[in-house]
Amino acid sequence: MLQVRGLTAFYGDFQALFGVDFAIDDGERVALVGANGAGKSTLLRSIAGTLRSARDAIVFDGRAIGDVSAAEIARLGIALVPEGRRLFPSLTVEENLRAGALGERPGPWTLERVYDLFPMLREKRNASATALSGGQQQMCAIGRALMANPRLLLCDEISLGLAPAVVKQVYAALDQVCAGGQAVVLVEQDVELARSTTERIVCLLHGRVTLSGRSRELERETISQAYFGV
Question: Which pLDDT does position 230 carry in this prediction?
Answer: 65
Which residue intervals of the chain are DSSP H helices? Answer: 40-48, 70-76, 93-99, 111-117, 119-123, 134-146, 164-179, 191-197, 220-228
Q: Which domain holds residue 218?
A: 2-228
pLDDT digits (tens, 9 = 90+) for 1-18: 999 999 999 999 999 999
Question: Which pLDDT does position 136 carry in this prediction?
Answer: 94
> Binning pLDDT at 50, 70 and 90, where does residue 160 land?
confident
CATH number (domain holding residue 48): 3.40.50.300
Question: Which pLDDT does position 189 carry in this prediction?
Answer: 86
pLDDT at 183 over 90: yes
Question: Which pLDDT does position 85 carry in this prediction?
Answer: 84
Distance of CA 40 to the CA centre of its chain: 10
C-alpha dist (Å) from residue 202 to 75, 151, 154, 185, 191: 26, 20, 14, 10, 11
Question: Which pLDDT does position 127 carry in this prediction?
Answer: 95
**What total number of domains does the chain contain?**
1
